């Protein structure tokens, strides 16, 4: 089968590019401000979470899951045990039922998907020409692709919605021994596994759709052996009783988030049986990973902002394509360096605000990097030639 492609060629003059570049300076400063705010907030969030978990780890008490001790009311408790339920969950639309903690219906639709790739060529005089190729392919997807937004919607029309949507059914009486779990903890149970339907499950009757039954679920379409646009396939996953460990505030015969003196809250659940110490160690590791992810996002936003501020220099130099490419590579390098320094300074100020000693150390490191860059720049400056004798 040949490729289903559509190409579009667009051109921009040097004047159009330089105008857009100067407008982009404003966006660049906005991105830098957003990056600074994100980096500063993230450090505060990380410190608060660290202190919250540190406080919780020092006061948590391990309790048995088979009895509710009123003496532990309001305390932070660590409870290992097995979650279970007597509830039977029903998907009335398709006639599926199972005794489980959660029943998850996954629906995919066969539809057109659009992808694109662009190639830009610089032209002498500062202009540029961009060739964008849009490709279309039929794929199974859980999300409806709005074909009205395709570059070439003709011949690539998708239904606007699915007859059946993905849905999760959750039991309302999930318990851990003598305790009943709130929905916030039930939603943290993530050991879903595929559900194979039994022979007693039949294709729904009384519908105008052709619904075919298979071991994995249902196929909704004209022919299950030949997929057509708009066909659906339905699969099920199920969360069954399992061993878990939770840390939360005991309230009656249930649980809720525990509020610490730092203003944070603790409500943890992990699959399997774990000690309280392991629970808090893993929570601290998760906090560290999240902190570094947000730092990377902040630094990337900062680099994008700086690059947009320097963009007019690239456009000005692009009158000669080779010089423009060289300048573009230089501005990208400068953007990364400036982003690194600015990000480090922002993080340092945040740490200085939340933890003065460590923050001061980071500020000194950032200043050291700036000084080294200045020294290197001076060394690379060409020496002045002596004046010519008359």
Residue 283: the pLDDT is: 96
The answer to whether residue 385 sits within a structural domain is no
Give per-residue burial for 342-375: e unless 16+ CB within 10 Å, then b. bbbbbbbbbbbebeeeebeebbeebeeeeeeeee
7 pLDDT above the threshold of 70: yes
The answer to whether residue 324 sits within a structural domain is yes
- Average of per-residue pLDDT values in the chain: 87
Q: Cα dihedral angle (53, 55, 56, 62), rounded to 10 degrees? A: 130
Residue 1: the pLDDT is: 46
Banded model confidence at residue 9, pLDDT cuts 50, 70, 90: confident
* 302 vs 207 pLDDT, higher one: 302
Residue 184: φ, ψ to 5°:
-60, -35
The answer to whether residue 389 sits within a structural domain is no
- The arithmetic mean of pLDDT across residues 343-347, rounded, is 81
264 and 151 in a common domain: yes
Structure tokens given for 188: 């943290």
300 pLDDT above the threshold of 80: yes
76 and 44 in a common domain: no
Instruction: Give tens-digit pLDDT for 263-296.
Output: 899 999 999 999 999 999 999 999 999 999 999 9
Instruction: Give tens-digit pLDDT for 129-166.
Output: 788 999 999 999 999 999 999 999 999 999 999 999 99
Residue numbers of the domain that contains 35: 5-51+287-380
317 and 195 in a common domain: no
Residue that terminates a domain, selected from 273, 305, 331: 273
The answer to whether residue 312 sits within a structural domain is yes
178 and 79 in a common domain: yes
List residues bridging with 88 in a β-sheet. Answer: 99
349 and 269 in a common domain: no
100 and 39 in a common domain: no
The answer to whether residue 386 sits within a structural domain is no
Q: Which of 34-38, 169-173, 209-213, 316-320 has the lowest mean pLDDT?
A: 316-320
Number of domains in the chain: 2
The structure tokens 């902040």 sit at: 298
What's this model's pTM, rounded to 2 decimal places? 0.79
The structure tokens 């919250």 sit at: 52
Structure tokens given for 278: 């392991």
Banded model confidence at residue 387, pLDDT cuts 50, 70, 90: low
Instruction: Give tens-digit pLDDT for 71-122.
Output: 999 999 999 999 999 999 999 999 999 999 999 999 999 999 999 998 888 7
The answer to whether residue 264 sits within a structural domain is yes
Query: Which of 7, 4, 1, 12 lies closest to 151, judged by CA?
Result: 7
Percentage, residues of the chain above pLDDT 70: 89
The answer to whether residue 200 sits within a structural domain is yes
162 and 13 in a common domain: no
Banded model confidence at residue 167, pLDDT cuts 50, 70, 90: very high
Banded model confidence at residue 321, pLDDT cuts 50, 70, 90: low
Residue that terminates a domain, selected from 273, 295, 314: 273
300 and 258 in a common domain: no
101 and 249 in a common domain: yes
List residues bridging with 135 in a β-sheet. Answer: 5, 115
CA dist., res. 101 & res. 87, Å (int): 7
103 and 206 in a common domain: yes
Residue that terminates a domain, selected from 219, 251, 273: 273
The answer to whether residue 318 sits within a structural domain is yes
68 and 47 in a common domain: no
390 pLDDT above the threshold of 50: no
* 15 vs 169 pLDDT, higher one: 169
The structure tokens 């997929």 sit at: 227
CA dist., res. 329 & res. 123, Å (int): 17
301 and 243 in a common domain: no
Sequence-distant (≥ 6) Cβ neighbours of residue 206 within 8 angstroms: none
């Amino acid at each position: 089968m040949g490729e289903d492609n559509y190409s579009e060629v667009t051109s921009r003059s040097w004047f159009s590019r330089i105008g857009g570049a100067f407008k982009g300076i404003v966006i660049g400063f906005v991105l830098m401000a957003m990056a600074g705010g994100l980096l500063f907030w993230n450090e505060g969030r990380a410190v608060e979470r660290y202190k919250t978990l540190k406080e919780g780890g020092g006061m948590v008490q391990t309790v048995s899951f088979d009895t509710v001790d009123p003496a532990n009311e309001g305390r932070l408790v660590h409870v290992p045990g097995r979650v279970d339920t007597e509830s039977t969950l029903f998907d009335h639309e398709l006639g599926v039922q199972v005794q489980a903690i959660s029943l998850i219906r996954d629906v995919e639709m066969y539809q057109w998907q659009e992808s694109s790739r662009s190639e830009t060529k610089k032209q002498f005089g500062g202009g540029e020409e961009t060739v964008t190729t849009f490709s279309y392919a039929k794929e199974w997807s859980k999300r409806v692709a709005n074909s009205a937004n395709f570059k070439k919607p003709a011949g690539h029309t998708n239904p606007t919605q699915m007859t059946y949507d993905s849905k999760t059914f959750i039991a309302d009486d999930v318990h851990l021994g003598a305790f009943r779990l709130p929905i916030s903890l039930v939603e943290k149970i993530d050991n879903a596994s595929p559900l194979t339907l039994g022979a007693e499950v039949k294709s729904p009757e009384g519908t105008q759709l052709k619904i075919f039954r298979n071991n994995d679920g249902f196929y909704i379409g004209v022919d299950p052996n030949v997929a057509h646009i708009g066909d659906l396939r339905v699969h099920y996953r199920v969360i069954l009783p399992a061993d878990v460990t939770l840390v939360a505030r005991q309230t009656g015969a249930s649980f809720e988030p525990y509020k610490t003196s730092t203003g944070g809250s603790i409500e943890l659940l992990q699959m399997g049986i774990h000690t309280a110490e392991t629970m808090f160690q893993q929570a601290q590791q998760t906090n560290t990973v999240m902190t570094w992810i947000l730092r990377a996002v902040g630094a990337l936003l900062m680099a994008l902002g700086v690059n947009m501020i320097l963009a007019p220099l690239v456009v000005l130099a692009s009158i000669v394509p080779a010089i423009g490419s060289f300048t573009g590579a230089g501005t990208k390098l400068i953007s990364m360096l400036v982003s690194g320094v600015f990000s480090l300074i922002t993080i340092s100020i945040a740490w200085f605000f939340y933890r003065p000693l460590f923050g001061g150390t980071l500020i000194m490191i950032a200043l050291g990097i700036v000084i080294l860059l200045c020294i290197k720049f001076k060394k690379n400056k060409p020496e002045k030639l002596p004046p010519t004798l008359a």
